[in-house]
């Protein structure tokens, strides 16, 4: 089906659902749809809609679900969307949206899913989002967001998945994120984050995925991460971490793809009884040479979706977890992050 969405639909005041997704619809979203105060669902994703998101949509106070993702929409996210207090799911991802994330979205007390990824959003992550106690997933990756990660996000006790990678975020990782007891995935890679990894993250016993690669993190890897018994893999590559890789990480029972730490020149793994070459992408050293990086030739930057192995003076050959496996895995991750849409 092609053509425009008729503005006359705004006359159907008893209408509760609009399902127009996955067509060839073009043109703008009619502002007249704001008159549909009984509307519960509007799904117009996967079309070729362009223009602005009408601020009048904020009048649809009974709306529970809005999916207008995967279109060509531009302009700002209207702050009036904060009036839709029954909203549970908002998908605006994969458009051409710019400007800031309105702080008014923090008023959506029933919101469980907010997907804004793959746009051109700028500015800060609003601290007001920390008020969304029912929020389970927040996807903001592949934007141009800056500033720090708000410590207020540590109040999102229902949160299972946070993805803010591929932005311009700076500052430290808030220790308050250690309160997210239901968190399963944490994607913070490819930003400008600095400081140490908070030991409080060791409290997140449901955490399965950690992606902190390609930042400016420093200090040691907290041994408390060895308490994350559900952890499947941890990507810390291409940072400025130093010291030994904690032996506790090698004992994690569900670490399927292991530990990626290449590109941290002053980080090393010790050849001891705990070391497992199948769980890490750097060789071990029998004794680190004082004042000498254990990974003398480790890369300091990482091309997108690439993990490189690093030679060392005293090396144990890694046969299972090769750079080929990691390259394949990260390319699959990037593929799904670009293609997955709900």
Residue 18's SS3 state is strand
Those residues of the chain that have pLDDT short of 50 are: 291-326, 328, 341-342
**SS (HEC) of 227-293:** HCCCCCEEECCCCEEEEECCHHHHHCCCCCCEEECCCCCEEEEECCCCCCHHHECCCEECCCCCCCC
- The length of the chain in residues reads 342
Nearest Cα to Cα of residue 278 among 265, 269, 286: 269
* Res 203: pLDDT: 97
Tell me the C-alpha distance between 232 and 185, whole Å: 10
CA 312 centroid distance within chain: 33
Confirm if 40 and 65 have CB atoms less than 8 A apart: yes
**Would you say 295 and 267 are in contact if contact means Cβ atoms under 8 Å apart?**
yes
CATH classification of 141-342, choosing from 3.30.70.260, 3.80.10.10, 3.40.50.300, 1.10.10.10?
Answer: 3.80.10.10
304-167-150-225 Cα dihedral, nearest 10 degrees:
0
Stretch (H or E) spanning 338: helix 323-339
Sheet of 233-235: strands edge to edge? 17-19, 41-43, 65-67, 89-91, 113-115, 137-139, 161-163, 185-187, 209-211, 233-235, 258-260
Provide the CATH number for the domain formed by 1-121 in this structure: 3.80.10.10
- Listed in order, the ranges of the chain carrying CATH 3.80.10.10 are 1-121, 141-342
CA distances from 169 to 77, 110, 124, 192, 287 (A): 20, 27, 8, 5, 36
Q: State residue 262's pLDDT score.
A: 96
b/e for 130-148, b at 16 or more Cβ within 10 A?
A: bbbeebbbbbbbbbebbee
CA atoms within 13 A on the CB side of 31: 7
Sign of the dihedral defined by the CA atoms of residues 264, 218, 145, 57, in that order: positive
Distance from C-alpha of 276 to C-alpha of 290, rounded to nearest angstrom: 24
| Contact call for residues 121 and 98 (beta carbons, < 8 A) | yes
């Amino acid at each position: 089906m092609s053509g425009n969405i008729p503005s006359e639909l705004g006359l159907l005041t008893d209408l509760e659902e609009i399902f127009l997704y996955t067509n060839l619809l073009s043109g703008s979203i009619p502002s007249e749809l704001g008159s549909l105060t009984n509307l519960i669902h509007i799904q117009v994703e996967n079309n070729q809609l362009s223009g602005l998101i009408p601020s009048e949509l904020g009048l649809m106070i009974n709306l529970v679900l809005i999916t207008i993702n995967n279109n060509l929409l531009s302009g700002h996210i209207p702050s009036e969307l904060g009036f839709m207090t029954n909203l549970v799911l908002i998908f605006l991802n994969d458009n051409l949206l710019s400007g800031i994330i309105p702080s008014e979205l923090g008023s959506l007390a029933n919101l469980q899913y907010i997907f804004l990824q793959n746009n051109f959003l700028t500015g800060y992550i609003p601290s007001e989002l920390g008020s969304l106690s029912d929020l389970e997933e927040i996807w903001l990756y592949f934007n141009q967001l800056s500033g720090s990660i708000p410590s207020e996000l540590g109040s999102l006790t229902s949160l299972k998945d946070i993805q803010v990678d591929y932005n311009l975020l700076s500052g430290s990782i808030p220790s308050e994120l250690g309160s997210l007891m239901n968190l399963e995935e944490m994607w913070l890679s490819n930003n400008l984050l600095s400081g140490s990894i908070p030991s409080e993250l060791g409290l997140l016993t449901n955490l399965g995925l950690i992606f902190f690669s390609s930042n400016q993190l420093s200090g040691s890897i907290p041994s408390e991460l060895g308490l994350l018994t559900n952890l499947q893999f941890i990507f810390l590559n291409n940072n400025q971490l130093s010291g030994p890789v904690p032996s506790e990480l090698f004992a994690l029972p569900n670490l399927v793809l292991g530990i990626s730490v290449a590109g941290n020149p002053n980080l090393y793994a010790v050849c001891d009884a705990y070391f497992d070459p199948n769980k890490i992408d750097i060789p071990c050293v029998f004794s680190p040479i004082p004042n000498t990086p254990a990974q003398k030739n480790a890369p300091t930057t990482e091309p997108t979706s690439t993990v490189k192995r690093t030679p060392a003076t005293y090396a144990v050959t890694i046969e299972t977890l090769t750079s080929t496996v990691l390259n394949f895995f990260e390319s699959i991750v990037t593929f799904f992050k670009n293609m997955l849409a709900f």
